[in-house]
Structure 1
Amino acid sequence: MKRVRRSLLVLVALMLLALPVLAACGGGGGEGGGNGGNGDQAAGGGNKITVTAQNIRFDKTEINLKKGQTYTIELVNNDSVQHDLVSEELGLEIGLTDPGKGNSVEFTPQQTGDFEFICTVPGHAATMNGTIHVTE
């Protein structure tokens, strides 16, 4: 009986240790919107929006901004190849970002509407795209 309890205890302990690893590796399979809103409050009172690139996808496919408001938009590259984030219509460009690195820009939208953003690395735009919604 002691042996069964000990085995059960070891099994539970191993499962608890594996939980953080599984949580870090899982998820992200869907067309996530995540927090596509105005993001976190950045230092200085501005808004910060973080978009993560992983598995040739962006974690956000919808970003909501207000015209005339300044944002820090950050691209975090958790992939094994370079990525960028560009919206030509809005004049937004976060340059090529190396694997494991981040890159950010200050951006103030000047027009309202819906604008596409993509990764311009050849072959990536098919799965790395989304819409920036700019409202008054």
Structure 2
Amino acid sequence: MLLVGIIVAVLIIGAVVVLGMGASNTADSVAEKTENTVAPIATTQSETMDEAAPENVIEVEGGSFYFKPNEIRVKAGETVTIKLNSADMMHDFVIDELDVRTEIVQGGSSGSVTFTPTEPGEYEFYCSVSNHRAQGMVGTLIVEEYTLVE
């Protein structure tokens, strides 16, 4: 999405420079008009990137009726990728309240799911394979308030 915005900005800058030049072809005129046009766009892009929450990749091991770690903390509004590494048998990673679910992962393999929690709170995650949840394969995702550091 950012790439599309940059391409559109470059096209607009090009049109402004070409139309603004008119009949003038001097190097000084071109440099001056280009410099004045580009600076505000660079500032806007920088501000947008600073305000965006970073992506967070969290590796979780799923084994015989456990998750490691079994408590995960993230910020509201932060894009999170859970990478589930299955240590021994089929497992998955599910959070019902956030509609989050990996595919079922075979032992020795991994799978992932990416999501952005928006509401602070505590959410249970679990393995939905067979009776793994009943045998204790559960954990807690804690979503904390996101604060922008200036």
- TM-score range for the pair, normalised by the shorter chain length: 0.5 to 0.7
What is aligned with 2:130? 122
Identity %: 38
More strand by share: 1
Report the 3-state secondary structure (helix = DSSP H, G, I; strand = E; otherwise coil) of the residue aligned with 1:76: strand
What is aligned with 1:103? 111
Give structure 2 stretches of 5+ with no counterpart.
Answer: 1-53, 146-150
1:28-52 Cα deviation digits (max 9, x unpaired) = xxxxxxxxxxxxxxxxx52110110
What is aligned with 1:113? 121
Q: 1:73 aligns with which of 71, 82, 87?
A: 82
1:78-123 Cα deviation digits (max 9, x unpaired) = 11x2100101011111120011100012111021110100000121
More helix by share: 2
Deviation of the 1:56 alpha carbon: 2.3
Give structure 1 stretches of 5+ with no counterpart.
Answer: 1-44
Scaled by the length of structure 2, the TM-score of the pair is: 0.58
- After superposing on structure 2, the runs of 4+ consecutive aligned residues of structure 1 that deviate more than 3 Å are none
Larger radius of gyration: 2
Scaled by the length of structure 1, the TM-score of the pair is: 0.63
Pair 1:82 & 2:106 matched: no
RMSD: 1.1
Aligned residues: 91
